[in-house]
Amino acid sequence: MNTPVTLTIDQPLYDRLHAHLFPGDGDEHGAVIAAGVAETARGTRLLARDVFLARDGLEYVPGTRGYRALTGQFVAEKADYCAGERLAYLAVHCHRGIDQVGFSSDDMASHCRGYPALLDIVGSAPVGGIVFAQHAVAGDIWTREGRIPLSNVTVVGPQMRRLYPFPKARPHAAHPIYERHARLFGDVGQAILGGLKVGIIGLGGGGSLLNEWLARLGVGEIVGIDPQRIDPTNLPRVVGATRWDALTFLTTSRCPILRRIGERFASRKVHIARRVARQANPNIRYDAIVGDVLDEATARRVSDVDFLFLASDSIQSRLIFNALVHQYLLPGAQVGVKARVDKQTGQVADISVASRPVLPFPGGGCLDCHGWIPATRLAEEALTLMERKAQRYIESDEVTEPSVITLNVLSAAQVTNDVMMMFTGLYLDGLALKHQLQFAREREWSWVEPQANPLCLDCSTSSKSRRARGDGARLPCRMPFEP
């Protein structure tokens, strides 16, 4: 295996493991991580789903060829569990030290004795050993194709952390155009942003703002997904869109044939977004995907991003986004604006602006647990236009809601700042990223307390949930059409 191997673990699980490994006694302790597996263009991602803490003296005991070792029974039980759940098996222990760590010769010898047999037990998933210091980690990962060191561990939480075997070299000074950025979060922070890969689902009003701001922050790579072309009504709120993009000389024509030609050849929203991003940052890598995230092949294109945004209106896209966040342990955020107009009077009833961070653990902001993926709306969206008319879900062929760019700004600005703060270490310890609502007409802000359903199929620790399953579970996408 020549591709990098990394481990991702959510903050609560990491805190639980770290407290067990470093209780303050300076001794060695052990555990096992069961992890999902995701194969991507960036390498193999191991996704921590469960942590089994070995009890000192009972399951982690003095070794015959080394200082301490997991008992054979404990190893067998957890290996059988990983095999049954199609998860990777990772044995964990700790060494003294702060920011640098490595395996001892006894450790490496034990790997050679035990891991070939464990590979036969676990099946197709990797096995390996991981050793932690206080702020460092090293790993030795075994697969049927070969053996490779663990590149790093990412801890997903309000403060994103990345742990390595030893301290990384300090980056070069940031490019002079980012000098004002570096005054806030330093050259290190700018280098971190430059290494990020960010996904955006939906490049309309809110998504186009996210797209430009991320490019101007110096984010290194953006994956944009949107199936739609621009139309004249999008021009006031899609950043960088022009009348030429919308072919308004055709799309506003009184001639139906000319209008159809204009609608067919107008620019794709995602191509406009790519142009805007490259104007802001000529060095950015941009993957412009003309596609629908409801298709699994498209959805998996963002399974390896460092942060995922949802700026699409549909409930089905929320379902897929929420699944991606939890199945692949991706931090993310949903943005949206709701302006409700009374159909009888035509008066504006209320305007709400939502910024919803979602982190992949119970209480992390799961959209389903907060009631933002109602089953009735999912069923409604799954119907054809004629079926919706027959069941009187809609009263006309097109139902469009009000949309104004300044309201989109309120929603998008907060979550863009979240990305900047989370990855550059500016957020304070213990911060909870709660969902945030603004009621624009009243100029009032509201924060939503975290919700967690213990049986949630996305975020929970239930055996049936998709959390950290990686490629071992299907996303809830529509089935591909077979003629």
Asked whether residue 436 is assigned to any structural domain, the reply reads: yes
Query: Quick one: tokens of 260?
Result: 């159809």
Interhelix angle 375-382/315-327, nearest 10 degrees: 120
Query: Residues 6 or more apart from 179 whose CB is under 8 A from it?
Result: none
Instruction: Name the average pLDDT for the chain.
Output: 92
Q: How far apart are CA 397 and CA 408, in angstroms?
A: 25
- For residue 351, is it within any domain? yes
Q: Are 159 and 135 in contact (CB under 8 A)?
A: no
- The answer to the question of residue 263 being in a domain is no
Same-domain pairing of 67 and 182:
no
- What CATH code is carried by the domain that includes residue 41? 3.40.140.10
Residues 158 and 296 in one domain: no
Predicted local confidence at residue 344, as pLDDT: 76
Q: 450: burial class by Cβ within 10 Å (0-12, 13-18, 19+)?
A: middle
- Do both 151 and 193 map to the same domain? no
The pLDDT of residue 90 is: 98
In a domain, 169, yes or no: no
Residue 49 lies in a domain: yes
Cβ contacts of 63 within 8 Å, gap of 6 or more: 69, 106, 110
CA distance 46 to 423: 20
Q: Are residues 109 and 203 in the same domain?
A: no
Domain edge (last residue) among 163, 189, 204: 163
Residue ranges of the chain with per-residue pLDDT less than 50: 1, 385, 391-399, 482-483
Q: Do 380 and 331 belong to one domain?
A: yes
- Residue at 176: amino acid letter: P
Q: Where are the beta strands (DSSP E) in 343-443?
A: 348-358, 435-439
User: Does 477 reside within a domain?
Assistant: no
- Global pTM reads 0.94
Exposure string for 372-396, b = 16+ CB within 10 A, e = fewer:
bbeeebeeeeeeeeeeeeeeebeee
Q: What's the pLDDT at 403?
A: 79
> What is the chain's length?
483
Contact 10, 446 (CB under 8 A): no
**Maximum Cα interatomic distance, the chain, rounded to a whole number of Å:** 87
The interaxial angle of helices 205-217 and 405-424, nearest 10 deg, is 40
Domain housing 144: 5-163
Burial 179-200 (b: 16+ CB within 10 A, else e): eebbeebbbebbbbbbebbbbb
CA separation for the pair 357, 12 (Å, rounded): 16
Give the CATH number of the domain where residue 431 resides: 3.40.50.720
Q: What per-residue confidence (pLDDT) applies to 340?
A: 78
How much is the pLDDT for 2?
61
Examine the domain organization and report whether 147 and 194 are in the same domain. Answer: no
Tell me: do 311 and 425 sit in the same domain: yes
* DSSP assignment letter at 18: H
Same domain, 159 and 181: no
What is the reported pLDDT for 64? 86
The pLDDT value recorded for residue 480 is: 67
Inside any domain, residue 396: yes
State the pLDDT at residue 384. Answer: 56
Same domain? For 119 and 213 the reply is no
Q: Would 463 be classed as within a structural domain? A: no
Return contacts of 242-247, CB within 8 angstroms, 24+ apart: 245/272
- CA 341 → CA 45, 176, 348, 374, 380, distances in Å? 46, 48, 4, 21, 21
Pair 193, 147 in one domain: no
Answer yes or no: do 361 and 328 share one domain. yes
* Contact (Cβ atoms closer than 8 angstroms) between residue 440 and residue 353: yes
Same domain as 155, residue 275? no
Q: Which pLDDT does position 47 carry in this prediction?
A: 98
Task: Quote the radius of gyration of the chain (alpha carbons, Å).
Answer: 25
Number of domains in the chain: 2
